């Protein structure tokens, strides 16, 4: 019974240019977990964009 609630997600980064993602779906909770990972990646990308905008503005102020 407990096995039904298990999901296994393995991520291995082989290099900066080669990203391998494996998803083994054991139950509907795996889909939910995958969706959470997807949202977290999107949030991280948005955060990086905001930081980049802030850094660009700081650099512009320092340059003159």
Enter the pTM of the model.
Answer: 0.47
Which tokens in the block code for residue 15?
């290099």
- Give kind and range of the element (H or E) at residue 17: none
Mapping DSSP to helix (H, G, I), strand (E, B) and coil, where does residue 9 land? Answer: strand
Per-residue pLDDT, averaged over 35-50, amounts to 88
Answer yes or no: is pLDDT of 10 > 70: no
How far is residue 42's CA from residue 39's CA, in Å, rounded to a whole number? Answer: 5
pLDDT surpasses 60 at 12 = no
Closest CA to 37 of 5, 17, 8, 15: 8
d(CA 27, CA 47): 31
CA distance 15 to 4: 33
């Amino acid at each position: 019974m407990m096995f039904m609630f298990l999901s296994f997600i393995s991520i291995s980064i082989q290099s900066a240019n080669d990203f391998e993602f494996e998803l083994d779906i054991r139950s509907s909770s795996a889909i939910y977990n995958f969706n959470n990972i997807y949202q977290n990646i999107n949030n991280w990308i948005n955060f990086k964009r905001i930081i980049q905008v802030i850094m660009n503005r700081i650099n512009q102020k320092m340059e003159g």
